């Protein structure tokens, strides 16, 4: 598991012994402390002078495998697919950026307007939502609604990628609303399952 089983203190070895089920290892932390040391206070202890050697002997033999010995994977291949946004998305994206820039410059040329992290992260989140095609907003009753502007191009490119792999596919999405839209579209195309 590690080249340094007692990196911080000899107590570190107890968890490793439990995980690897070392025969004869003390079953509890209290028993471990009593086997290899003695208490010097309510929250401190002193280890016996030979505790390190005894722990290493107990953990021996260690079996190690290099990743290359047990995993035979092809090299990683990165394929990037650029899919543009719809006109509606581009318009919303540009409006968000322009409003944000206007908000920063509105303080005047002689003063510095400080933008808090919440403002910046809120903008970045909205830009990500717009680029994905699902934007969360609030209706008149202050209830969250999903505004879907999913361009067909993105879904077509996703379907092409799925067909080209010929294998099972994992799809990562940055937002729950995007996951719901992807699930609906994929179930419509491929069925539930």
Task: Give the model confidence (pLDDT) of 125-167 as tens digits.
Answer: 888 888 888 777 666 676 766 666 666 788 888 899 889 888 8
Give kind and range of the element (H or E) at residue 116. none
**Mean pLDDT along residues 8-18:** 85
Beta strands in 68-171 (DSSP E): 134-138, 144-148
- Comparing 123 with 100, the larger pLDDT belongs to 123
Task: Give the model confidence (pLDDT) of 63-118 as tens digits.
Answer: 556 666 667 777 877 888 888 888 888 888 888 888 776 555 554 556 655 555 56
Task: Decide: helix, strand or coil at residue 38.
Answer: strand
- Comparing 173 with 111, the larger pLDDT belongs to 173
| Spatial contact of 45 and 38, defined as CB atoms under 8 Å apart | yes
pLDDT of residue 50: 92
């Amino acid at each position: 598991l590690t080249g340094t089983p007692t990196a911080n203190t000899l107590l570190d070895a107890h968890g490793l012994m439990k995980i690897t089920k070392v025969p004869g290892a003390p079953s509890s932390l209290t028993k471990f402390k009593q086997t290899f040391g003695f208490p010097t206070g309510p929250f401190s202890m002193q280890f016996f002078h030979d505790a390190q050697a005894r722990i290493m002997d107990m953990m021996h033999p260690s079996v190690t495998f290099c990743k290359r010995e047990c995993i035979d994977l092809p090299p990683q291949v990165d394929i990037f697919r650029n899919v543009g946004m719809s006109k509606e998305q581009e318009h919303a994206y540009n409006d968000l950026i322009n409003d944000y820039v206007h908000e920063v410059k509105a303080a005047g040329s002689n003063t510095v307007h400080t933008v808090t992290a919440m403002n910046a992260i809120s903008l970045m989140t909205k830009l990500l939502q717009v680029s994905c095609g699902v934007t969360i907003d609030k209706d008149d009753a202050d209830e969250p609604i999903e505004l879907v502007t999913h361009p067909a191009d993105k879904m077509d490119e996703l379907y092409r990628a799925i067909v080209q792999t010929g294998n099972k596919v994992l799809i990562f999405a940055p937002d729950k609303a995007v996951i719901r839209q992807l699930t609906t579209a994929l179930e419509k195309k491929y069925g539930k399952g």
